[in-house]
């Protein structure tokens, strides 16, 4: 059945209007001042490089099917199949040290309400060196015992909330609590989307530590219709016992975004799990020593990796749109690679900082 021409023309107009929209601004190379002012700056040279890359990929992968380009497989979910690309990387991970984590926490008297720096010094002078000691204190025993109970119960969520109230969510003690999780229960997550809100997630990367290093599962949408299935597959990573989530800026972006998409398809919100946002810990740990706190900057500094043929995050939507429009999977290649690198760097950064905290503690 033909569509009335007036609607073709309306759709065409909105199509043009939407194609004109970008959620980033191109700034002159080296214009750091303007780059700082723009919401999401992309330097002109990076922008032009990315466009060249896209065209190169379109030529190279012309007539290729997505399944030929990525060695992925289908995973069945209640909402139909989704496409997942699995890979493994050698990442060295020391085992967590829960006892040390517990010691760090218990030695911080200021976790008890009513204890500030003065009281802390006074209490230490009187021989109270840990929260366990305070369980005998005439005034603080109530709070001290309550906190010990939380610790014994292993309720890391409650601990994190407590630390955030007493100190801040990015306090090193918060990161120290990650020591209560076995490496295999850590879920590293990073998403790629069609925009900053209210649009589909096109790729969810999940990293898990195992015997062979870091296994990365990337749920890539072959078309937008697979988003619901991909969201369900991702949710399954959070349903087994005691997982903890590790992200980079996930508190502000990835998790609210995923929650929004899950609600979009009419599902109830997923139960919350302890969440370590490495952006906040990095900021606190390296304040004043780095020009900015993008994952790429941290990666270059601490993981000594340099990315080639990368797509700037802000340009991911138009790369994916090129795929949607042409069916040519070429532009997806750097998106998948970008996401995979983000997951690896995220895991490395986490492990590095977790060790640092313990070293400090």
Residues that bind another protein (CB under 8 A): 3-4, 6-15, 17-19, 21-23, 79-80, 194-200, 223-225, 227-228, 259-260, 263-266, 269, 317-318, 321, 324-325
**CB of residue 2 to another protein, shortest distance in Å:** 9
Q: Are the beta carbons of 361 and 104 closer than 8 angstroms?
A: yes
Element (H, E) at 43: strand 41-43
For the bound state, the minimum distance from the C-beta of residue 68 to another protein, rounded and expressed in Å, comes to 23
Q: Which residues of 268-293 are buried (b: 16+ CB within 10 A; e: fewer)?
A: eeeeebbbbbbbbbbebbeeeebeeb
Closest to another protein by CB, 21 vs 287, is 21
Please state the closest distance from residue 249 (CB atom) to another protein, in A: 17
Cβ within 8 Å of residue 83, ≥6 positions away: 66, 67, 70, 72, 73, 74, 75, 219, 220, 221, 222, 226, 230
121 CB-contact burial (10 Å; exposed 0-12 / middle 13-18 / buried 19+): exposed
Do residues 295 and 345 lie in contact, with contact meaning Cβ atoms separated by under 8 Å?
yes
Q: What is the dihedral of CA 320, 326, 329, 335, to 10 degrees?
A: -20
Q: Are strands 244-247 and 80-89 parallel, antiparallel or unpaired?
A: unpaired
Least distance (Å) between residue 238 CB and another protein: 18
Q: How far is the CB of 4 from another protein (least distance, A)?
A: 5
In angstroms, give the least distance from the CB of 200 to another protein: 6
Name the nearest CA neighbour of 340 among 183, 226, 203.
Answer: 203
């Amino acid at each position: 059945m033909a569509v009335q021409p007036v609607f073709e023309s309306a759709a065409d107009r909105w199509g043009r209007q939407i194609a004109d929209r970008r959620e980033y601004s191109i700034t002159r190379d080296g214009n750091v001042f303007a780059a700082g002012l723009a919401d999401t700056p992309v330097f002109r040279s990076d922008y032009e490089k990315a466009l060249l890359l896209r065209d190169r990929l379109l030529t190279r992968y012309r007539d290729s099917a997505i399944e030929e380009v990525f060695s992925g497989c289908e995973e069945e979910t209640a909402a139909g199949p989704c496409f997942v690309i699995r890979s493994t990387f050698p990442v060295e991970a020391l085992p967590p040290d829960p006892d040390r984590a517990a010691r760090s926490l218990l030695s911080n008297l200021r976790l008890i309400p009513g204890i500030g720096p003065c009281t802390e010094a006074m209490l230490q002078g009187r021989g109270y060196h840990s929260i366990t000691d305070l369980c005998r204190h005439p005034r603080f025993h109530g709070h001290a015992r309550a906190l010990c109970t939380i610790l014994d119960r292993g309720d890391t969520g409650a601990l994190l909330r407590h630390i955030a109230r007493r100190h801040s969510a990015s306090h090193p003690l918060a990161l120290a609590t990650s020591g209560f999780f076995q490496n295999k229960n850590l879920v590293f997550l990073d998403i790629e989307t069609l925009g900053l809100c209210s649009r589909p997630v096109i790729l969810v990367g999940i990293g898990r530590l195992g015997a062979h290093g870091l296994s990365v599962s990337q749920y890539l949408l072959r078309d937008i219709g697979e988003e619901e299935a991909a969201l369900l597959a991702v949710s399954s990573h959070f349903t087994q016992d005691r997982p903890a989530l590790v992200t980079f800026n996930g508190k502000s972006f990835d998790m609210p975004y995923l929650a929004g998409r899950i609600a979009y398809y009419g599902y109830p919100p997923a139960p919350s799990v302890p969440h370590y946002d490495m952006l906040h810990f990095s900021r606190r740990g390296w304040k004043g020593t780095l020009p900015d706190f993008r994952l790429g900057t941290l990666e270059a500094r601490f993981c000594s990796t340099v990315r080639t043929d990368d797509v700037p995050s802000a340009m991911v939507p138009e790369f994916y749109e090129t795929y949607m429009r042409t069916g040519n999977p070429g532009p997806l290649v750097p998106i998948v690679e970008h996401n995979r690198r983000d997951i690896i760097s995220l895991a490395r950064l986490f492990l590095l900082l977790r060790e640092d905290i313990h070293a400090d503690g």
